[in-house]
Chain A
């Protein structure tokens, strides 16, 4: 039987996740999004698979780490696409699921519609974004370092 989902375990990325931006410290939300989440989500999205993100395992999180990582995903792919493909697992701290789904998703969708670009604190390689005009994903450097 064909596997219907792919997964990311954040503990594989870092045991001690850091702050919001790359310039603020190691293993930041911005870094996690650009190195892991963006590419994995794009692949799952194109293959019509679900992406399970497991938050269990690390020492803990700052709200800003999760907000920046999942918020950028909504900004680049849109709320509907993210909600239909992402499953967040957090058995150790279910509070984070509530924060991400009820606050981060909604607030970043507003930012996307208002065209309030996220801050990039270093130069990143090209990353994926959903183009709503032609219903496809495109890869380029969308925002330069602020």
Chain B
């Protein structure tokens, strides 16, 4: 009786094994068929790609700038130009873009910085940029003196050689990392230019680091790029810019739903940006310990350790030294641009401040 029971259970096990084996084979066959289908698809796609591109010449487009091309005086003209560049390159339509600034008669360090940042961005997207220089002698000279041409080649791919009459603009640019030492050195050189003593100026280092860190943290995840520039305006003033092409400050704010509703009726973007510098919102990361950078920048400007701080981001221009100049722009800038000045007086205010 016992033997019979054992035989039955062995038979059952064998049947189950056979069944499992059948199922395994069936599943393997299905998988094989699926792979064959997928391989066919891949092959047709891979073959099609070179055929499509084989005889296609790169598509080109020229975008012309208006004559008033100073960012701080005519921000809408510059931002409109940048927006046009964005529009023609965002859908990967054109592989070569010519930036025609031949008719420009007024420029500043702001427009040069934004233009160079945009060119960096296009380079990241493998879009070739050709830039025609201004006919106006003053503007042309400023382009060369600024160091803009240090980042460009002529049409034969050769470096443009130009001996600058002044040390003028020094540009640091980066993509996904800060350049602490280079920024620190640039600040020391600017202090030396103003006071004759090569030393660090801590408030300036702080704000440059805050701005740079913000651009890396919040800029487009895959296409980060920032540009820091120093312009030796004259013997008594040095100008700085920090530009990043990304989302802009307003795009990175984390606001409560109730705040959004309230602001829809009560505030424009200028006020919202002002509030961001006063730490009225939390960071997009939602971490409780974040969002110390913008208030730090504001406090340094309020203490007059720097002069004439201007921020252009999204559709807002914020002038910290004269709020009457702050305005909502009719052009949107997908990024953040900071401009500020340093003179000997700022350094003295810092040195003579009362320490707690």
Contact = CB atoms under 8 A, between A and B. Distances in A.
A108 B125 CA distance: 39
Contacts of A25: 177-180, 213, 216
Given A15-B184, A108-B289, A110-B288, A24 B177 contact: yes
A60 B203 contact: yes
Interface string B232-275: 00000000000000000000000000000000000000000000
A63 interface: yes
Nearest to A114: B288
Contact of A60 (B181, B204, B217, B356): B204
A12 B122 CA distance: 40
Interface in B176-202: 176-181, 183-184, 187-188, 200-202
Contacts of A52: none
Given A60-B202, A62-B213, A26 B289 contact: no
B288 A60 contact: no
23 contacts: A16-B183, A19-B178, A19-B217, A23-B176, A25-B216, A26-B180, A27-B180, A59-B184, A60-B205, A60-B209, A61-B205, A62-B206, A62-B213, A63-B206, A63-B292, A67-B289, A67-B290, A94-B355, A103-B289, A103-B292, A104-B289, A108-B289, A110-B288
A60 B200 contact: yes
Interface size class of B (residues with CB under 8 A): 20 to 34
B40 interface: no
Contacts of A16: 180-181, 183-184, 205
Interface in A42-88: 58-65, 67, 71
Given A17-B180, A63-B296, A107 B289 contact: yes
A111 interface: yes
